[in-house]
Chain A
């Protein structure tokens, strides 16, 4: 058989799409719920998900779990969507709901689920798209300041700061000797900037997610505040550590740490002497003068695929997974927190002082990533720009201008 060049090229171009079509039937299928999760890594955690949470589900379907790391989740999810293998229940990060909901991947959920499950309404903005619920906060990870109480006591400091001005003053007061007053850089710099910006009343995007909002002055002010801490000698970008390495606070080289509940399991394992009530305590990011304090909200959200052939059963599974005992099991296994505050007694959760503190402060959950369908395109470009300012490569104005250009270009592409 003779194959013309045109036919060959045509076949070559058609092949991937044909394979995609084949993939459609290999994806979700009735009676089998596919769950994709970036959490529950490691045998013990898998057993919690599979044996405690999913095995007790009485719905009319079996479950298959697809485990992946946070760093590969986006890649795995999008290649899955491209090839038609869309999981029925999808665990994703904060900020991911609008980009995928806008493309019709995530389905709308009943509006009363928050009240049904007793989830704090302050967490609602992270799972909404165009004012409608497209997911639920499943297990959260929150950021706050953790401080070395012994050093505070030694210096006679009895009050935690109530405003950003007071925070800066406190850091100045803590400047003596070799200890770093505050470590705000071992965190992701993008998230630290967002946290400070929220304290100043700023947001990344307008409420409808279609306009850049951090250009109102709050973005520049937040970045300048971070640079002021460096200029004061209170913070040092050069002393940040890579993820996984012991943080300066753990090595007792820093007095205050902008840290996350995700660090608690490491602290329990590596620095047990530092996490007792006598040794440490927490405070929220104080607001700018007159503003409320701010808890940064991250963690794992749960959404359901719009085109799932098991849509109803998947929602039954969602109800099952939001049983308080199972939320506690999921949270404890992953060093994260249930999104609900009315919880049954649980020694594991109660021993997580950082978790209990955050859970009690959900009312102040005012800082988070995303808020626009364009966020995925912008997200990874924010950190390098912030780093550019922190390392003196560019000024605050140039940084905010660059971020605005990146943001506006991505927003312009939204249909």
Chain B
């Protein structure tokens, strides 16, 4: 048998106490419990994020090869980065992938979400198919695209071109086509998650707004532009920020697909950091590059907030 007890309502804080802002009795207890419950997450963040970030910051001022002891070099690593053309080439590639890839994939995701939100037949199947690239291991995705972009006549992309009488292209072997090819893969892989976020947001929109617009005689385009898009602003901000961060974290795709080549034409910052750290064994320089990347991501997040208007839907 189960006995249930109705919890007694918490005693309300006297108005006078509320006015003075002093937390006493149950309020203080609640705050203490809050801190206790938050402590594991705080400790986790401190140990696995806070300390490594501080240590990385310290290492960025050293010359460290992981075998011999670190040597303090002041701002030398940062000076090296600013004169390193390869680092800025990687940055440029990341920006191309972000500036072109993110808006395109967001637009496709939004259109797909709106279509799927209209209750089309087989909606669940379409949703799963569109989301599938996101949950598939990037290494597997890259291997499939390696075959698609194979420079031979048997590569799927070249087979498709041959139907139109176009010669086989050396997709990943040509510096001029390699980055666009990588861009296609990142767009394709990024649509699923964005679509899902937009779809969830669309399903949370109040139908009354659309009913009111109908009464006012608004057409589908007007409703999309004046209601759907503004109401999706928090979702857009979230999608934008997570996409920017994900873009600057792209590594495994490049590692399997191109190794940053040919001639560094597809190298990205994380790949350069990996190369510097674990191939060249210049850990101090690699951590300085990581610090720069962190600062860029913070700046881009702030910029996104300004442009899109943050997480508030108003």
Contacts and interface: CB of A to CB of B under 8 A. Distances in A.
A210 interface: no
B146 A239 contact: no
B66 A384 contact: no
A16 interface: yes
A237 B173 contact: yes
A165 interface: no
Contacts of B221: none
A78 B58 contact: no
Given A384-B260, A388-B263, A78 B67 contact: yes
Given A15-B51, A377-B281, A387 B263 contact: yes
A376 B261 contact: no
Contacts of A237: 170, 173, 262
Contacts of B280: 376-377, 380-381
Interface string B119-161: 0000000000000000000000000001100111000000000
Contacts of A9: 54
Interface stretch (A154-162, A240-248, A281-289): A240-248
A74 interface: yes
A75 B283 CA distance: 11
Contacts of B206: none
A206 to B, nearest CB: 21
Nearest to B67: A103
Given A12-B50, A238-B170, A242-B146, A78 B264 contact: no
Contact of B264 (A15, A99, A384): A384
Interface residues of B, number: 32
Interface string A127-141: 000000000000000
A7 interface: no
> SS class of chain A's interface: helix, strand, loop or mixed?
helix
A100 B67 CA distance: 9
Contacts, number: 92
A387 B175 CA distance: 9
A242 B172 contact: yes
Interface in B58-86: 58, 63, 65-68
Contacts of B170: 237-239
A131 B54 CA distance: 42
Nearest to A413: B63
> SS class of chain B's interface: helix, strand, loop or mixed?
loop
Contacts of B281: 74, 78, 99, 376-377
A75 B274 CA distance: 9
Contacts of B174: 238, 391
A13 B260 contact: no
B278 interface: yes
A82 interface: yes
Given A15-B51, A239-B151, A380 B275 contact: yes
A383 B262 CA distance: 9
Contact of A238 (B51, B151, B263): B151
B261 A241 contact: no
B60 to A, nearest CB: 13
Contacts of A377: 280-282
B67 A105 contact: yes
B151 A241 contact: yes
A156 B272 CA distance: 50
B146 A245 contact: yes
A13 B175 contact: no
A23 B263 CA distance: 39
Nearest to B170: A238
Interface in B260-296: 260-264, 267, 275, 278-282
Nearest to A72: B278
A240 B66 contact: no
A75 B50 CA distance: 23
A387 B151 contact: no
A203 B164 CA distance: 48
B263 A391 contact: yes
Contacts of B151: 238-241
Contacts of B54: 9, 12-13
A376 to B, nearest CB: 6
Given A13-B54, A78-B281, A242-B172, A103 B263 contact: no
B52 to A, nearest CB: 8
A99 B275 CA distance: 16
Contacts of A251: 152
B4 to A, nearest CB: 43
B55 interface: yes
Find the residue from B54, B173, B175, B263 having the highest chain A CB count within 10 A: B263
Contacts of B263: 384-385, 387-388, 390-391, 393
A379 interface: yes
Find the residue from A78, A100, A103, A381 having the highest chain B CB count within 10 A: A78
Find the residue from B68, B175, B275, B278 having the highest chain A CB count within 10 A: B278
A78 B66 contact: yes
B50 to A, nearest CB: 7
Nearest to B47: A15
Find the residue from A13, A237, A242, A387 having the highest chain B CB count within 10 A: A242
Contacts of B152: 239, 241, 248, 251, 253
B278 to A, nearest CB: 4
A74 B68 contact: no
- 6 smallest beta-carbon distances between A and B, as pairs: A238-B170, A388-B263, A75-B278, A387-B263, A82-B66, A387-B262
Interface of B: 50-51, 54-55, 58, 63, 65-68, 146-147, 150-152, 170, 172-175, 260-264, 267, 275, 278-282
Given A12-B51, A237-B262, 5 more contacts: A16-B51, A81-B67, A239-B170, A242-B172, A377-B281
26 contacts: A12-B51, A13-B58, A15-B51, A16-B51, A16-B55, A74-B278, A78-B65, A81-B67, A99-B281, A100-B67, A238-B151, A240-B151, A240-B173, A242-B172, A245-B147, A248-B152, A376-B279, A376-B281, A377-B280, A380-B279, A384-B264, A385-B263, A390-B263, A391-B263, A393-B175, A413-B63
Interface of A: 9, 12-13, 15-16, 74-75, 78-79, 81-82, 99-100, 103, 105, 237-242, 245, 248, 251, 253, 376-377, 379-381, 383-385, 387-388, 390-391, 393, 413
